[in-house]
Every structure is written in structure tokens, then in C-alpha cells.
Structure 1
Amino acid sequence: MSDTTQAPAATGSTPASGRPAPRFPLPALIVMACTTFIGIVTETMPAGLLPQIAGGLRVSDGSAGQLVSAYAVGAVLGAIPAVMLTRGARRKPLLCLGLLGFLLANTATALAPDLPVALAVRFVAGAFSGLLWGMLAGYAIRITAPERAGRALAIAMTGIPLALAAGTPLGTWLGTTVGWRWAFAGTALFTAAILAGALIVVPDAPGQHAHTRIPLRKVLRIPGLATILAVVFGWLLAHNLLYTYIAPYLRQEHLDLTPDVALVIFGVAAIGGVWITGTLVDRMLRRLTLASLGLFIVAGVILLAAHGSTPLAILAIILWGLAFGGSATQLQTAAGAATGEHADAAISMVTTAFNLAIFAAGAVGAIIVDGVGAKSLPAVMTILAAVALIGVGFGRRAAFRTGR
């Protein structure tokens, strides 16, 4: 999972114990990718359907927008407690429980009679999201041979860019065509299919042994983890500032590019970033993370120089997607490599840092857009990414280790 890990010379090699190497669990990882896909779609779909939801629940657009906030609050408050309370539980029942929670929450959202019920349901959905995001990375690593753990994690996280590129736009189209309730009902139906797949093809794995569990504060003190969390927050804040406020940025720069097209371009490029990460992360985690942040900064600089040039803006968005697409895999792999047996607890902290960055981006971005204007967002994005790059640079010993 780190630069110090060296892959075997040939596929299918036999370990020193004489036992054959375990098969790569591709079907199970595809189910996990579908789980991350449905998690992102469930989280982001209300943002594309605010007018329809507001009309259906007879509230303002701003009030309907709190469905996104309620979900995020549930994820922030639920991730660490849920993972810490279930560290000893077997992984497959936990995965199925999380998917069942998504299924029930999306069904209940589709049937919600008013806003308070919908908000409560979304909060619960966010809590299940915190549980799933906190355990999926460790689960993917547990069922895979160590020398291929990074690739397994990349496949499991493929659902993120796929959801951003296709899932959320498809849900928005369905909601505007046949009604927002049917969009959530369709999401629930897809979740049921994923749950069936999990029951059939995903192998079980044990939780953490009781004698190896340590308090959360001691997990946080593991060398390298604090640096990783700082990089997570800085990089995700840099990304979400522009991603959240892409519409006012495109409008103020007078670019001949609509937000939905820009986000599809970003999502498709991010899939390429996931593929590159899956290919390289097991052999060169540190160099890959440095290169990704460097490319992210280049994208920000090009956006600063675009000044109304749509071709330059498209190039920057492509580079942005390539740079950011593998970030979740890189950062979670780094957390797992640094913390070993305590990876689930560490990754739950990574999940919380992700969601806190999303919160902060909404608040800070609003101040920037209303104050100095959305044109300045690429500058702030570039500065924050540079700080994150410095963090990776100083983390060579424990966080982002130097190696072959």
C-alpha cells in the first residue's frame, strides 16, 4: 500500500508459505464500486432537483437545500462513532446493513410527506453513509492480497467519479422527467440490486481483533496520520471550493460552457485519474500523490490564465479531473499504510475530514463569491493545493513514505 511495497515478479506467484496467492476479488470490488456510486448519488441528487423537491414539499429552494446539509451532518457525526462501535464486527453483515439503510432511506425519502420527515430520513441516510465510507476501504484491503491492495481500493472507489459523471445527471434527468420521488425510488431499486449482489459475491472478512483495538486518541497519535488528515482537508477544501461554485465561476468568466457539461467533462477525466491511480498506487504512492497535487495546481493556474477562453478552461477541467480522480484512493491508501491494523478507525477520520472540507468549502466559498467574486476561486484553490503538496513533501517518513 506504500512506496515500500514491491509487487511480485509474476501474476499468480506463490507465497513463501507454499500456498497459492489469493484470487483478485474483482466481482466483490465491483459491488463495492456500486456501493460508492449509490452513496454519492444519494448524497448529491437533491442538489439537482431542488425546484422539484421544493414544489413537492411546499417549501422554499433554500429549505429544500437543507436535505443535502442534513445528509452531510449525519455523515460527519456518524462516521467515527459507527466505525469505532463496529470494529470487531464481521465485514459482510456490516456492508449489507449499510446498503439496507440506504435502501430504506431512499424509499422513505420518496414517500416523505413533508420537509421535517425528509430531513430526519436524510440525516439517518448520512449516518449509514458514514458507516459505509468508514469501512469500505479497509474491507477492500482485507479481501485482497497485500501487494494488490491499492488497485483493489482504486476499483472500489471507481463509483465516485462514475456517480459524478453519470449517476447524478441521470438522477436529475429522471427527477425532472417523471418526478423527484421517482428518482429516489429508482435509487432505492438500484440499491436493492447492489444488496443482492453483495449477498451473493462479496466474501466475508473478520473485524479487528479485540486485543489489537486502541482508543481513538491513540489512533490519532500514530505517526503520519495527522499529516494525512491535514492533507485530506486542504486538498478537499481546494477541490470543493470550485466544484461547489462552478456555476458562478463559469458565468463570471463568460465561458461558453454550462455547469452540467463542465461537470461531465470533469467526471470523465476523473475516471481516467482513477485508472492511473489503480495502476501505480501499489508501487509509487508518494510520487503519485505528489504528481496528482502538482497537476491539480497546474489546472488551477490554467484556470487563472483562461480569462474567458473556453478551450483553456476545458483543458484545465480535464487536468483537474485527472489530478483529483484518484485522490480518495491515494489518501485512504496512505492512511491504511500508516496505521495498519487500525486502518478502519483511521479511514473513518479521513471520511470525517472529507465531509468537514465539504462543509467548509460551502461556507468559505459563499464568502469569496459574494465578496471578491467567483473569478478568484482558482487562486484560492491553487494556494490550498500548494499547502497540501508541502504537507505530502514533509510526510516522507510516516505519512507518504519514500520508497522504490
Structure 2
Amino acid sequence: MTDRIQLENPETTAKTTPRLPITRLAALTTAAFITVLTEALPAGVLPGMSTDLHVSESATGQLVTVYALGTAVSAIPLSIATAGWPRKRLLLAGVAGFAVANTVTALSLLYPVTLVARFVAGIAAGVVWALLAGYARRLVPESLQGRAIAFVMAGIPLALSLGIPLGTLLGDAVGWQVTFTVMSVLAVVLLAWIFPAVPDFPGQAAGRVQLATTARIPGVGAVLFVTLTFVLAHTILYTYIATFLDAAGLDGMTGAVLLVFGIASMISIWFTGAHIDRRLRGSIIAATLLVAVAAAALAIPAHNVALVYVAAALWGLGWGGVPTLLQTAVAIAGGDAADTAQAMLVTLWNAAMAGGGLVGGILLNLLGPSAFPWTVLILLAPTLLVIIGARRHGFPGAR
């Protein structure tokens, strides 16, 4: 009887430390994992897909491009069209899209059909990405919202550092079709996981979704600008890192450098999750400075192995938490229009990724690979200024 009274004591309840709903958040983490893995997997099994689809490897590489295109063109329109939908129904629809698209990819030996399947997978990604951060925030009290988003976004580095290598090994061993089949099975398992474990939330009221209005919300524009410039800067260097290292006389180091980058990114995710709820502003400023210092180190003409590894570590420590920081910032700034703001961020993110490859190619032809780190520094200068200026809205201080 005494124990029961203590459990029902309001003071005792008030002092109870809230905890993350791990099972529910892990389902969202798996959704992020599937999204990134589905996007990047063709790069790991490129030769086999090229042979079986009877197209060149460059044409097979466009399976990644068309996925990003599907995400970029669909995120905002779908967010508007489905604004009133219950969030769980929309999440299930997005994951089901992955299951269907990956199944068609696994079965198809016709390049045009595979292209369509990849475009559909990109559309599914646009739906899921626009939901994840908002869903994570709604599952926890305000004091844990940043940490919850960090938990979910851990699916990104997990897919890149673990999922892609394992998918590549599986593809080499038993064929790329089996790899995409496994992805479909994983999506079906996730559907069965989400259905009973993840609660539903209502969508937005009809007539409330307006892009111009959302963009004018204090802080949203600042976060979107930082997203565009930061992701563009990162993508230019990341896409052409092998070319940059080869030109610097460090050929053969790309794999090791990216491994250091990946490990540092995981550390960054952990640190971001531990501090984002109290130090979002300080974290994004530190991230920007770390990537800038890394770019400055790579800009030094006399490269040496130790300096490159240090730069890769600083780069990863800076960049790893950026997706979580930006998703959290735009969700806070967006308020009731957070889902629309998230969709806008997803669109700009993918546009910046596509633009990074294009701009990097132009720079490579005009100025050579030595221009990449300097371009990063040029882009991060206005990025840092906007972050500093968005003290009240966008990137506020301690909360």
C-alpha cells in the first residue's frame, strides 16, 4: 500500500526523469536507414547492375540521380497534398513505397523500368524525410526533442558506414538483385513494426499549408539558407574527394580518409544528441567552424598524410551532426507549419546535393581540384554570418 501511494505522489512523478521511447524512435531510425541505403546502394553494386541492365556504368549511376530528383520534385507538393492526412498513414505509405520500388528494382532487367522504380523510391523518400523530424519531436517532451531527432538521424551514418559496405559485400557474393530483395523485406518488417508500435498524430488543418507564408516565418528562411549553402559546400568536396586526393599525390587514400570521416561523423552524432536540446546555436556554430578549419587545412598546398587525416576527422566532427541540427532548427522555427518547413528543407537539401556535383564538375574543369577547399571556405563565410545573425529565430541560444 505504501509503495502504491509513493508511485501516485505528484512530487515523485514530477521528479521522474523522462526517457526516450527507444522502440518507437528506433522504428523511425530504421526508416532513415532504409531511405539513405536505398538511395546510395546502386553505387556499391554498380558494375553488376550495369552488366545485367545492359547499360554503361555512367548510365547506371543515374539511378542515384533520378532517386534524388524524385525526392526534390515531390517533397513539397506531396507535403501540401497530404497535409491533412494522419501522420502514421503517411509514414506507412512512404515505407510501403520503398517496399514496392525495391521489389521492382530487384526483379527488373529493363533499364527504363528500373529508372521509374528508382524515381518512385525517391518520391517515397520525400514523404518519409518530411515526416521523421516532426514525428520524433511529437514522441517526446520538449526537453528531449533534439535528442530524439538525433537518435532518428543516426540512421544516416549507420546506412553509409555499415549498410552500404554490407550491401556491397552481399551484392558481390550473391548478386545485386538479392541485395534489393533484402531491402524490400526490411521495408515490410518495418511496416509490421510501425503499425503497432508508433502512435498516430493528426495532420495540419485544411488551408494552413502555404509555402510563402511558411518561408516568412521568423527563422525558417535563415535555416533554409544555411541548409542550401552548407550542404552545397560539403557536397562539392565530398563528391570529388578522390579526385582531390589523387591530384595532391595522395592516391589510394580515399577509403581510409572516408573511414576516418565516417567514424568522426558518428562521434559528432552522439555529441549532438547529448547537447542539442540546450546548445543548438553553439553546436551549429561549432560545426561550421570545424568544417571551415578542415577545408583550410586541405587548402594548404604542401599536403601530408597526417594533415589530411586530421582534416578528415575535423570535417566529420563538424558535419556529422549537421542534418540533426538543421532538422531541429527548422522544426522549432516552423512551429505549426513544421512539416511544410521540413519538406522545404528536404527539397533544398537534395537540390544542393545535385548542385554540388554540377558546380564541382565546373570547378574541376575551370580551376582544377585545388579549388574545392577554397570554395568550401567561400560558401561557409555567409553561412556563418547568417547563423550568427539568426540569434532570436532560426538558431536561438540556450533553451
> Structure 1: how far apart are the matches of 2:203 and 2:247?
50
1:36 maps to 32
Secondary structure of 2:278 counterpart: coil
For residue 68 of structure 1, the aligned residue among 64, 67, 76 is 64
- Whichever residue aligns with residue 217 of structure 1, its letter is A
Question: Quick check: 2:84–2:202 contact (8 Å CA) kept in 1?
Answer: yes
Find the partner of 2:385 among 390, 396, 402: 390
Question: What amino acid is the match of 1:388?
Answer: T
Higher mean alpha-carbon deviation, 351-360 vs 261-270, is at 261-270
Match of 2:281 in 1: 286
How far the C-alpha of 1:120 sits from its partner, in A, is 0.5
8 Å contact 1:91–1:205 — kept in the other structure? yes
Q: Which amino acid aligns with 2:267?
A: G
Larger Rg: 2
1:46 pairs with 42, 45, 55, which one? 42
Say what the alpha-carbon RMSD is for the aligned residues. 2.1
Residue 225 of structure 1 and its aligned partner are, at CA, apart by 1.2
How far apart, in 2, do the equivalents of 1:14 and 1:288 lie? 35
C-alpha contact 1:96 1:195 (8 A) present in aligned 2 = yes
Count residues with an aligned counterpart. 391
Which of 339, 344, 368 aligns to 2:334? It is 339
Deviates more, 1:301-310 or 1:270-279: 301-310
Show the 5 A alignment for 1:1-400: 23-210=19-206, 213-255=208-250, 257-305=252-300, 307-400=302-395
Greater alpha carbon shift after TM alignment, 348-357 vs 167-176 = 167-176
Distance 1:261 1:201 in 2: 39
**1:210 Cα offset (Å):** 3.7
Higher RCO structure (Cα 8 Å, ≥6 apart): 1
Q: In the aligned structure 2, how far is the partner of 1:37 from the partner of 1:124? A: 17
Contact 1:164 1:263 in 2 (8 A): no
CA distance in 2 between partners of 1:36 and 1:321 (Å): 19
Shift of 1:125: 0.5
Q: Secondary structure at the match of 2:300?
A: helix
User: Which amino acid is the alignment partner of residue 31 of structure 1?
Assistant: A
CA distance in 2, matches of 1:71, 1:38: 13
User: Deviation string for 1:316-344 (max 9, x for gaps)?
Assistant: 11111111111111111111111111100
Q: CA deviation at 1:98?
A: 0.9
Moved over 6 A (4+): 17-22
Q: 1:19 to 1:298 in 2, by over 3 A?
A: closer
Higher mean displacement: 197-206 or 158-167: 197-206
| 3-state SS of paired residue (2:250) | coil
Equivalent-residue separation in structure 1 for 2:293 and 2:63 (angstroms): 34
User: Aligned letter for 2:292?
Assistant: I
Q: Distance in 2 between matches of 1:218 and 1:101?
A: 30
Q: Cα gap change, 1:89/1:341 in structure 2, threshold over 3 Å: closer, same or farther?
A: same
Q: Matched residue of 1:374: which SS?
A: coil
Does the Cα contact within 8 Å between 1:286 and 1:401 map onto a contact in 2?
yes
Offset at residue 24 of structure 1 (A): 2.5
Aligned sequence identity (%): 41
Partners of 2:234 and 2:188 in 1: CA distance: 32
What 5-or-longer segments of structure 2 have no aligned partner? 1-8
Distance of aligned partners of 1:166 and 1:359 in 2 relative to their CA distance in 1, 3 Å threshold: same
Provide TM-score, normalisation by structure 1: 0.92
Provide the C-alpha distance between the structure 2 equivalents of 1:298 and 1:14, rounded to a whole number of angstroms.
50
Whichever residue aligns with residue 218 of structure 1, its letter is T
Which ranges of structure 1 fall in alignment gaps of 5 or more residues?
1-12
Q: 1:57 to 1:237 in 2, by over 3 A?
A: same
CA displacement at 1:23 relative to structure 2: 5.0
For 1:376 and 1:241, locate their aligned partners in 2 and report how far apart those are by CA, in whole Å.
Answer: 10
* Shift, 1:19, TM fit: 11
